[in-house]
Structure 1
Amino acid sequence: MPKSRAKAPVGSSPNRRLTFNVHGTEAISSLKRALNLQLFLAPTVIHLQDGGIPGGRKDLYLSAAIQRTLRGLFRQLCAGEPTLHRNRFQSFLEIEQGEKPDKISTILTKDTYKFEQFLEVWWMKFGLGIERPISIDDKDLTKPISNYFIDSSHNTYLPSHQWGGKATVETYKRALLQGCRCVEIDVWDNDTGPSRDKSSTGSTRGIPRSDRSQKFNTNTLHTAAAHIKGAVDDKIEQTRQFLGVEKVHSYSPRCSKFDVRSPPSGLADTDTDANAATDEKANAERPSGRSKAVLPRDEPIVMHGFTFNQPIGFRQVCKAIREVAFEATHLPIIVSLEVHALLEQQESMVKIMKEEWAGLLVEKPHETCPNGQMPRLDELLDKILVKVKRASLSPECSMVAEDDATLGPDDDRSTKRPPPKVPICENLSNLGVYTHSEHFTNFESSSARVPSHIFSISENKILDLWESKRDELFTHNRHYFMRAYPKVMRIDSSNPDPSQFWRKGVQMVAMNWQKWDEGMMLNKAMFSGEQGWVLKPAGYRSNDEESRVQTNHLSPDKFDLIITVMSGQHIPLPEGMPAHKSHSLRPLIKCELLVEKPEERSGSPGEGTRLRPIEWKKQTGSGRTDHPEFGTENRTLCFKGIPKVEESLSFVR
């Protein structure tokens, strides 16, 4: 394949993803998205024509260093002429920048270009414009929904780490507004309601004492833990106020060491403040000395079982999802239910979802898409799909944990506590029209051939399967859904590298949105501007008959990526460095290429249990000051001769 070159600050092909470390903070984005207006705020202004307003003007602020660099590039492209000829401009955009010829021919309408016109086209048409989200009209929505990668979250109700704090509806709102299209809800019985000694379905009447004890243990322990945690927190707070001691730490999202970080790319720019305000309001409304949350009686609750998380109401969560579900995009949402509630409150769940999501909830197959056939993405606009386990035909089969995300032999969780086991009622089961949960046993089982099934499997188990059943795993994921969730040891809400699962065809990689780390940077890069659904590349989809396994469809050509870093401005100074010392700053750019390694393709042991060490690392030479120019030497980062690369699943950090 031809070489692909990119001259910073403007990017190249949208399939090559990176973020420069110019700001002194880590972030990942598409190559074009590396361009950010914040890089170019300076007193010196260049006036550009605003094509959207007759006689209008746009001002582009550039430092002297960047202007020198760009004017030098312009003179080089002009080859001695006073203006840039269209042919040379087109050659630069196509060969150096990797732009598509059909797009270039549409935009380049003049025969010659002055410097200001050159910048206007280069930055406004092939640079800054890419910052805007992709229009839904420009996305291919015609494929079955299992042919897409889906932006997914894990334990969406948690604001920080996995074992403490308060569940909150604000985390659902933030995630959905930022593009997440698969959220998770853990649903439990509300033990604060009236007595369950009833004769109705799902009650405890008639259950042997030993079995009843077991059932109460698995359905009430979480509530007791939350109440104990709340009581302790209240007592500590009362004591602190009495003694006048300053509060230095708590497990709230605003002051825990497991904070919801505000990422440099603006992933949650104002959300932390909003979450803090929500917590302060909740604390103010809660009577002093009382720890029990005010929850609707006889309605299920949402929380992380067997931990010290305090619950919220299931109806609250459904209302929050409805409020913001389709503000950012019309593409569908998948709600992944992990059900621990008994049958009586399962019926309540169904009632609540139908009430709160009226007109949005998928309750029956699409008229053009009967059961046994997956719908196209464009047939589910503004719809909410429920992922839930099916009701079982026999009592023996029905007593199975709702999801593989509960305790099980395939995970590395403690085996001291038995998994919660509840049958799923028929009315709830019926809502899993196109997305129903199935317990994974093997790829030869009958359930593995039902179009609507979803296997939820832990990250470690998927990596094990990749070693032993590589072809079967990839072939399955070309046709059917799979969801990966973080291993239980990630109690700090850390994340795995999601790209290793995307390259195995896994559609939903459930990420801990509570933590901004390298895994979430990659997730942000993958879905930035894509409205939460990304079409799988060729060879990964169900209609790609030319490819049976992953290794056969990858390009046989070697991949070359060349990035030239030219200059920068307003680089933040190190903490404690006064502004008059900025002349001593020596910034440089480090770059890591994240692609599938040969040993990963062969399923070597241990691959992916943590973020992989990067084999291809490059860095520039040092610039000078906080407005550096990188000269002509040691400013080019070359990644050449990399075999079998799927560009859309490769990243630059």
Structure 2
Amino acid sequence: MCFAMSKHLIRARAPAEPSPNRRRTFNVHGTEVISSFGRALGIGLFLAPSALYLQGDSVPGGKRDLYLSATFQRSLRKLFDDLRRGEPTLPNKNFQHFLETEQGELQEKVSAKLTEDTYSFEQFLWVWWMQFGLDVEKPVSIADKDLTKPISNYFIDSSHNTYLTGHQWSGKATAETYKRALLSGCRCVEIDVWDNNTAPSPDKSLAGSAKGIQRLDHSRKFSTNSLHTAAAQVKAIVDDKIVQTRQFLGVEKVHGHSPKCSKFDVSALSSGRENRLTLGPPITDGRASIEQPSGGWKPVLPIDEPIVMHGWTFNQPIGFREVCKAIREVAFETTHLPIIVSLEVHALADQQESMARIMKEEWAGLLVEKPHEACPNGQMPRLEELLDKILVKVKKASLSTENSINSLSPEAMNIDDDAASGSEDDRSTKRAQPKVPICENLSNLAVYTHSEHFVNSDSFTAKSPSHIFSISEKKILSLWESKRDELFAHNRHFFMRAYPQGWRVDSSNPDPSLFWRKGVQMVAMNWQKWDEGMMINKAMFSGEHGWVLKPTGYRSHGEGLDDRATRPPYRTFDLIITILAGQHIPLPEGMPRRKLHSLRPLVKCELHVEKAEERSGSPGEGGIKLRPIDWKKRTGIGKTDHPEFDTENGELCFKGIHKVEEALSFVRFRVEHEQSRIIPLKEVPRGWACVRLDRLAIGHRFIPLLDSDGNETKGVLLVRIQKNYQ
């Protein structure tokens, strides 16, 4: 391999340090340095450290340009000097030993890629980055992904109330959230479907100062199925009043585009601040429609088709067909792996028929309407047999309690499931809602994924391998305390779905790893909020296209095998993470760059692993008491947005991590700013990252940071990862 450095372009830039006196540029026009590559790099490193770009290979999906600040260069130069051990250049054997032992690279790959006898610093950097990579997360090979197992043997990236953008009770509903979720890797979306009762009858008149609200006909009371629109009508009145007041005060209304723009502040009317109420897009497909009252809320909904909304709340509705169109539009744009559409049906028979018709029309050629020919007698299909397919999860038309294949005892469960009332959201009120019977045409679409609920404390049944139990997070944790082995055995063979508690009206999330470790395949997450739970969810499915094969011991192995003979392969090890440096750490909102000298970033690190007393089997594994481990650690305080940490301040040691399943364990990084006396700062993470432990690469690595909305930033941490297995 010939190292003509002129082929591997590096661009010299101004130094990353904040002090303007130390800035120096080696190409005043900012063009690429080619013939003087080695000289420019050497000057940048030794005389006045400059920020450098290593140019990528320009191949789609390949290596991107790599930015190296002077801060990072100093750490990497020190590493290079340690490796060459006094030699003027780095010997091949030293480089090879470093890649194999420190970086965990395969010997065969290292031998094939290292063809030179010695390496200069610039060659060391380029070969290391281009041929082996510096990413902290091990890549996933989609071509090598195992798709041969039954679909119940996978964890599935799932969302809860997918149609919402923010708050659970007063947020905005839009079909765009389905597109965003699916394009981000989600493979199980939820649709709450209701009758469309927004059409006015000819004999109904409009009355009151808030025009647009129907006057109730005394001969017809609100039905159980029409009450869900009452909140929306009240909201229409309020919105109409807000618009009228704005017009009177001359306050201009400006729509925001952030999911956070789902709230409005009435006090803003008097102060002149922006109203943050945002609206959903109307349906404009030419079908019969009814325009809602004038004012701030003007959704256009088809009269004869069901709507999607969060019932009994102030959320605004959207059309069911609109949602189906949005799903079809992006369903398989990024992956061929299947989608599960979880329907929560509150609509009555006529509009259930409409639902079935709409799904068949909009998802023609994609919708699973009958069993796969290779799966007779109710067997579950393999994942590879459902590529580019949409599965519907819905209740069956008729339920039977006979011939149950479930081994869990109803007496032992003692579950009083709120889902039996027709809602999985466990909302604050305990009103007795009659169950909505499912029509046959809609029920027939639940081929491999039919819903089964806890009907009462005496019934916990299922009648086919395709059943899915939907249970609230609290009840799953309660069930685990008393019947963990039975629950774990059930989830090895059959689907289970966990959904957030109803009190999470702010769209917060539980820790999903608590449920994955119990074998729960679908943990429905509130994608509206990027909190700790969503960070872990992202780490679980990063690069996996929404389907992750369960670890050994968590999945079915066919008939005749003893479940106890295939326990998960737990591992014990020490994890040592050394934070070496950072670059472009995101600044607090409102902080000018001239105040960088007062910035004091620190890095917090937290492990999310299963404790021995939480796993299936005897609690505490025979009563063995383990030394408690501090699962949270932090570095010392750095300076500016390009901080450096020495070993004393940057080393974070987690010793004695006892018997965990790495595929279901996570490490989370949060970059925060210490409170300053000069500039008061809130302790809000300005950057974060989360990685699954089995995909946490060892050695010197780069950790890219995301912001509080899950978006990429320019921030990066340089770290050293060590795993010492016992």
Q: State the TM bucket, normalised to the shorter chain.
A: 0.7 to 0.9
For 2:435, the equivalent position in structure 1 comes to 421
For 1:268, the equivalent position in structure 2 comes to none
Amino acid of the residue matched to residue 641 of structure 1? G
Q: Is residue 537 from structure 1 mapped to residue 551 from structure 2 by the alignment?
A: yes
Residue in structure 2 matching 1:158, options 141, 160, 164: 164
Instruction: Give the CA deviation at 1:59.
Output: 5.6
3-state SS in 2 of match to 1:558: strand
Instruction: Give the CA deviation at 1:574.
Output: 4.5
Q: Is residue 505 from structure 1 mapped to residue 511 from structure 2 by the alignment?
A: no
Q: Is residue 45 from structure 1 mapped to residue 55 from structure 2 by the alignment?
A: no
Amino acid of the residue matched to residue 195 of structure 2? D
Q: Is residue 167 from structure 1 mapped to residue 173 from structure 2 by the alignment?
A: yes
Per-residue CA deviation, residues 74-105 of structure 1 (Å, 9 max, x unaligned), is 12122233333444334333332334555545
Instruction: Give the CA deviation at 1:600.
Output: 2.3
What is the CA–CA distance in structure 1 between the aligned matches of 2:104 and 2:613, rounded to whole Å?
29
Residue in structure 2 matching 1:639, options 641, 654, 657: 654
For 1:186, the equivalent position in structure 2 comes to 192
Per-residue CA deviation, residues 601-643 of structure 1 (Å, 9 max, x unaligned), is 27989xxxxxxx9941222233333322223433221112111
3-state SS in 2 of match to 1:255: helix
Amino acid of the residue matched to residue 656 of structure 2? G
For 2:638, the equivalent position in structure 1 comes to 623
Deviates more, 1:438-447 or 1:621-630: 438-447
What is the CA–CA distance in structure 1 between the aligned matches of 2:422 and 2:349, rounded to whole Å?
22
Per-residue CA deviation, residues 203-243 of structure 1 (Å, 9 max, x unaligned), is xxxxxxxxx989x5321001222122112212211212211
CA contact (8 A) 1:411 1:460 kept: no
For 2:474, the equivalent position in structure 1 comes to 460
CA contact (8 A) 1:152 1:180 kept: yes
What is the CA–CA distance in structure 1 between the aligned matches of 2:528 and 2:151, rounded to whole Å?
27
For 1:10, the equivalent position in structure 2 comes to none
What is the CA–CA distance in structure 1 between the aligned matches of 2:649 and 2:397, rounded to whole Å?
63
CA contact (8 A) 1:227 1:310 kept: no
Q: Is residue 385 from structure 1 mapped to residue 391 from structure 2 by the alignment?
A: yes
For 1:238, the equivalent position in structure 2 comes to 244
Per-residue CA deviation, residues 390-442 of structure 1 (Å, 9 max, x unaligned), is 111689xxxxxxx9646489996455411241111111111111111011369
3-state SS in 1 of match to 2:581: coil
Q: 1:129 to 1:567 in 2, by over 3 A?
A: closer
3-state SS in 1 of match to 2:179: helix
For 2:337, the equivalent position in structure 1 comes to 331
Q: Is residue 360 from structure 1 mapped to residue 363 from structure 2 by the alignment?
A: no
What is the CA–CA distance in structure 2 between the aligned matches of 1:394 and 1:567, rounded to whole Å?
62
3-state SS in 2 of match to 1:644: strand
Deviates more, 1:534-543 or 1:246-255: 246-255
Residue in structure 2 matching 1:304, options 306, 310, 319: 310
3-state SS in 1 of match to 2:649: coil
What is the CA–CA distance in structure 2 between the aligned matches of 1:443 and 1:123, rounded to whole Å?
59
What is the CA–CA distance in structure 2 between the aligned matches of 1:410 and 1:153, rounded to whole Å?
13
Instruction: Give the CA deviation at 1:119.
Output: 2.2
CA contact (8 A) 1:365 1:371 kept: no
For 2:715, the equivalent position in structure 1 comes to none
Query: Per residue, is there more strand in 1 or in 2?
Result: 2
How do 1:475-486 and structure 2 match up within 5 A? 475-486=489-500
Residue in structure 1 matching 2:465, options 444, 451, 455: 451
Query: Which ranges of structure 1 fall in alignment gaps of 5 or more residues?
Result: 1-41, 196-211, 260-274, 396-402, 606-612
Query: Which ranges of structure 2 fall in alignment gaps of 5 or more residues?
Result: 1-48, 202-218, 266-276, 285-290, 402-416, 621-627, 669-726
Amino acid of the residue matched to residue 148 of structure 1? Y
The structure showing larger relative contact order (alpha-carbon pairs under 8 Å, at least 6 residues apart) is 1
Amino acid of the residue matched to residue 560 of structure 1? D
3-state SS in 1 of match to 2:74: helix
Per-residue CA deviation, residues 489-527 of structure 1 (Å, 9 max, x unaligned), is 111111111110111111100001111111111111111
Amino acid of the residue matched to residue 531 of structure 1? H
Residue in structure 2 matching 1:117, options 123, 139, 148: 123
What is the CA–CA distance in structure 2 between the aligned matches of 1:49 and 1:237, rounded to whole Å?
52
What is the CA–CA distance in structure 2 between the aligned matches of 1:394 and 1:469, rounded to whole Å?
24
Amino acid of the residue matched to residue 45 of structure 1? L
What is the CA–CA distance in structure 1 between the aligned matches of 2:542 and 2:172, rounded to whole Å?
29
Deviates more, 1:156-165 or 1:595-604: 595-604
For 2:11, the equivalent position in structure 1 comes to none
What is the CA–CA distance in structure 2 between the aligned matches of 1:383 and 1:121, rounded to whole Å?
42
CA contact (8 A) 1:596 1:650 kept: yes
What is the CA–CA distance in structure 1 between the aligned matches of 2:477 and 2:469, rounded to whole Å?
14
3-state SS in 2 of match to 1:638: strand
3-state SS in 1 of match to 2:224: helix
Instruction: Give the CA deviation at 1:125.
Output: 4.1
Residue in structure 2 matching 1:97, options 94, 99, 103: 103
Q: Is residue 592 from structure 1 mapped to residue 606 from structure 2 by the alignment?
A: yes
Per-residue CA deviation, residues 311-355 of structure 1 (Å, 9 max, x unaligned), is 111111111110111112111100000111111111111111000
Q: Is residue 68 from structure 1 mapped to residue 68 from structure 2 by the alignment?
A: no
Instruction: Give the CA deviation at 1:593.
Output: 1.1
Instruction: Give the CA deviation at 1:306.
Output: 1.3
Per-residue CA deviation, residues 457-499 of structure 1 (Å, 9 max, x unaligned), is 0000100110011001111111111000001111111111111
Q: 1:242 to 1:628 in 2, by over 3 A?
A: same
What is the CA–CA distance in structure 2 between the aligned matches of 1:296 and 1:447, rounded to whole Å?
38
CA contact (8 A) 1:477 1:504 kept: yes
CA contact (8 A) 2:239 2:295 kept: no
CA contact (8 A) 1:160 1:493 kept: yes
CA contact (8 A) 1:193 1:298 kept: no
What is the CA–CA distance in structure 2 between the aligned matches of 1:422 and 1:317, rounded to whole Å?
22
For 1:473, the equivalent position in structure 2 comes to 487
What is the CA–CA distance in structure 2 between the aligned matches of 1:45 and 1:80, rounded to whole Å?
26
What is the aligned residue count?
562
Q: Is residue 652 from structure 1 mapped to residue 659 from structure 2 by the alignment?
A: no
RMSD: 3.9
3-state SS in 2 of match to 1:322: helix
3-state SS in 2 of match to 1:567: strand
What is the CA–CA distance in structure 2 between the aligned matches of 1:346 and 1:418, rounded to whole Å?
22
CA contact (8 A) 1:249 1:256 kept: no
CA contact (8 A) 1:590 1:618 kept: yes
Per-residue CA deviation, residues 189-212 of structure 1 (Å, 9 max, x unaligned), is 1123588xxxxxxxxxxxxxxxx9
CA contact (8 A) 1:189 1:340 kept: yes
3-state SS in 1 of match to 2:244: helix
What is the CA–CA distance in structure 1 between the aligned matches of 2:424 and 2:191, rounded to whole Å?
22
Instruction: Give the CA deviation at 1:44.
Output: 2.4
CA contact (8 A) 2:185 2:546 kept: yes
For 1:436, the equivalent position in structure 2 comes to 450
What is the CA–CA distance in structure 1 between the aligned matches of 2:457 and 2:149, rounded to whole Å?
23
What is the CA–CA distance in structure 2 between the aligned matches of 1:103 and 1:306, rounded to whole Å?
59
What is the CA–CA distance in structure 2 between the aligned matches of 1:614 and 1:118, rounded to whole Å?
38
Per-residue CA deviation, residues 281-321 of structure 1 (Å, 9 max, x unaligned), is 99xx9773485632112211111111122211111111111
Residue in structure 2 matching 1:489, options 503, 528, 533: 503
Amino acid of the residue matched to residue 652 of structure 1? V
Instruction: Give the CA deviation at 1:644.
Output: 1.0
3-state SS in 1 of match to 2:468: strand
Q: 1:575 to 1:327 in 2, by over 3 A?
A: closer
How do 1:203-222 and structure 2 match up within 5 A? 217-222=223-228
Instruction: Give the CA deviation at 1:65.
Output: 2.0
What is the CA–CA distance in structure 1 between the aligned matches of 2:360 and 2:283, rounded to whole Å?
29
What is the CA–CA distance in structure 2 between the aligned matches of 1:508 and 1:76, rounded to whole Å?
48
TM-score by length of 1: 0.77
Q: 1:348 to 1:559 in 2, by over 3 A?
A: same
3-state SS in 1 of match to 2:498: strand
Deviates more, 1:250-259 or 1:489-498: 250-259
What is the CA–CA distance in structure 2 between the aligned matches of 1:120 and 1:96, rounded to whole Å?
18
Deviates more, 1:221-230 or 1:642-651: 221-230
3-state SS in 1 of match to 2:436: coil
Instruction: Give the CA deviation at 1:554.
Output: 3.8
Per-residue CA deviation, residues 148-185 of structure 1 (Å, 9 max, x unaligned), is 11110001111111112332101111111111100001
Residue in structure 1 matching 2:542, options 528, 532, 535: 528
